[in-house]
Structure 1
């Protein structure tokens, strides 16, 4: 849909609401409708070869200039301050995502939650806050959802009231509308930094220790299969991005996601994204389809954004048949829970496999589980680095290599704790050496804690 078509659609909605006599909280409602109409007229006057599009930077400046000219001409009685505010709101409506555009620009906001027209929450520094931002009504929220999903070829309506999408900067979007959403159209945006976090950033935040980072770098370079486990919002995708930065630049990487959000910096990356069914209910491409197809694409590594169903079986088979060094994430509260969930997900593939055969697949495929948790103060910590040893009887045996020991909270409510090695040397140490990766001898020492007083860094926190 072109810029002009979107503007006309939005103007038609506003005109209907005005005709219906809906209550308006915005005192400049009528002025905005008139300014919208004037902007459409200005754009229609342009010759075909000079048509503008909101996605192009040079055209965005033209739109800003046109809005300012229209405001000067059509609203002489309004104060300069109000004109600036109106110009910003009109520009955000045309080029951005309406009232939440400012939140998308705010680097401190990590998540935006629109619960209908009258409630907008954000996550800042790990804590939820209610904002003063409001949409005019549910139709306004629906218009913003359409603006997000239309360029991606996705749709949302009563027959398909839920959609996953992404913004141009990679931020993940989930939208759900009535009749499923009882509070009105609901949008959840998980923002991703334009400059992705590095492992050094996570060390600085206290998410893991220097020793853990060195160990994980060695594991990735030695082509171990790693699962990042954690709850919703625990930082799994961010951590997966950091892990992927350790992959050598000469390897071919295939990424598979529902909505593409991984930001890999290697030169040889092929990104695959699922596709929902069309209006006839056909043409859906699932993660499982993409995992199977990726095996024919000569990957050195396969990265699956998240396994949540039958694709777990295909992923495990890939890990067991020569595609070492693969990475994925999954929802679970502990490493042991992650293994149980993988077992359940394999059963979801519809294969009538005995439980022991499934556990043999899991134990043979997974080398390491990284458990990520979101703490009570909103911070994210790696709480376990757990090695999967193998199968003994019918039980998958694991051992913790590094753990996070919580020591309480400080006067400001922030969680205090220490990352420690358990003193156990992983069974795959020989595999690390065979790959030419050399780790410091004392890296697995239980006395090398990382926390409020780390002796290796002068007693200072990183």
Structure 2
């Protein structure tokens, strides 16, 4: 995609693309090609044939331009998503950010870089957005200038057009990973150690309620997906998400997805609606992709009323911030609860907070595994079990550091011991490097 094209080659390609696009529209008008009656395959075949015909007979094409490249660029923009087609096809790219038609950033290996490919113009970006949202029965226009959608492959799309987007229509795509990461992958990447993963395995298996906390793009959903696969196979699991990303391997899973309002502004089904409803579906475990608002109260009540082993994620930068965030989200439920009552709910509902962080070198790591150990006065008491200690940067610019145990033995392991279940307490030895 980002090959070594010279500036002059890029200019020639853009000139040829614009010329062929104009000719394509003129030819379709003259021949009265009725695209409304065609299915997707027919439209692509017909358009491709016309493009090749135009390129073969057009004398005005710049000399030396790569005709195959021109044909692909015009076809992608005419019936596909334009330059996004190639970016979506590249498995190494995890996110695509179109700031305006001639500025597209991509995330590769955790690093953001400016791509050297562009749309032909502002109209082409809006057309791509319309192609994404139209099959979903949604629209984007001045009266509805923001939209959340999903591609066929599961990738999440957010689009904003003027007047809200001041520099032109923009698109953000978080690609759906086709290959499901396993616990061994996270250990291999250095995101976590074998010992910490084993602790998390035991916590999930023995029904601890877990909140994964972290910033945007820190890997919360990836970790939630890995941990969800530790849930025993005979449990009935209900997942609730904004956009379906979780890929659970157990046989007894019901997946629910929220729905935005339709064109008339009706028919919205929120995460909160789904969390309330799934309590009537006899779940053993509830897994909520992300708590953002009042559904946090329903989630806490579910955790407190026999649905142990439930999990969710929240946007926060530290475990202490995560507690504060849960408090704020619970207040967003509209119930006028005293802050102490909310803290008591959180303290009794949540057992473990796992903090996930993204570092400047693009790497993602679990930085805290923290236990909620109860209330002292009006404050929730936290106890770190494992920490990642950053030690600086290596000569390659990569983060250096180590995972250590704090010496605290979690209540979960103490109760497992009391039940006669064999557990390895040596991993909690103070200052042990894992």
Mapped partners of 1:250, 1:336: distance in 2: 34
Deviation at 1:25, TM superposition (A): 4.9
After TM superposition, give the deviation of residue 175 of structure 1 in Å. 1.2
Aligned 8 A contact 1:164 1:258 in 2? no
Q: Could you tell me the TM-score, scaled by structure 1's length?
A: 0.84
Q: Can you list the C-alpha shifts for 1:402-427, whole angstroms capped at 9, x where unaligned?
A: 10011110112110001111121101
Q: In structure 2, do the counterparts of structure 1 residues 278 and 409 end up closer, same or farther at CA, with 3 Å as the change threshold?
A: same
In the TM superposition, 1:364-403 aligns within 5 A as 364-403=348-387
Which residue of 2 is the match for residue 75 of structure 1?
55
* Residues 21-170 of structure 1 mapped to structure 2, 5 A cutoff: 25-35=14-24, 52-53=39-40, 59=41, 66=46, 69-76=49-56, 82-93=66-77, 96-170=80-154
Closer, same or farther: CA 449–42 of 1 in aligned 2, 3 Å: farther
In structure 2, the residue matched to 1:20 is none
**Paired residues of 1:230 and 1:332 also in contact (CA < 8 A):** yes
In terms of mean alpha carbon deviation, does 133-142 or 152-161 score higher? 152-161
Report what 2:233 is aligned to: 249
Q: Are the structure 2 counterparts of residues 239 and 353 from structure 1 closer, same or farther at C-alpha, using a change threshold of 3 Å?
A: same
- 1:68 offset after TM fit, Å? 5.3
Are 2:187 and 1:207 aligned? no
In the alignment, is the contact (CA less than 8 A) between 1:386 and 1:400 conserved in 2?
A: yes
Task: Output the aligned Cα RMSD.
Answer: 2.6
For residue 206 of structure 2, the aligned residue among 198, 210, 222 is 222
Query: 1:448: Cα distance to partner?
Result: 4.2
Mapped to 2, the partners of 1:354 and 1:96 lie a distance apart of 53
Which residues of structure 1 form unaligned runs of 5+? 1-23, 54-58, 451-462
1:418 to 395, 402, 412: 402
SS of residue matched to 2:66: helix
Q: Quick one: which of 174, 196, 202 aligns to 2:180?
A: 196
How many residues align structurally?
417
Any conservation in 1 of the 2:203–2:412 contact (CA below 8 Å)? no
Helix, strand or coil at the partner of 1:378: coil
Please state whether the residue corresponding to 1:26 is helix, strand or coil: helix
Q: Which moved more, 1:74-83 or 1:368-377?
A: 74-83
Contact 1:99 1:135 survives alignment (8 Å): yes
* Contact 1:343 1:359 (8 Å CA) reproduced: yes
Of stretches 152-161 and 390-399 in structure 1, the one that deviates more from structure 2 is 152-161
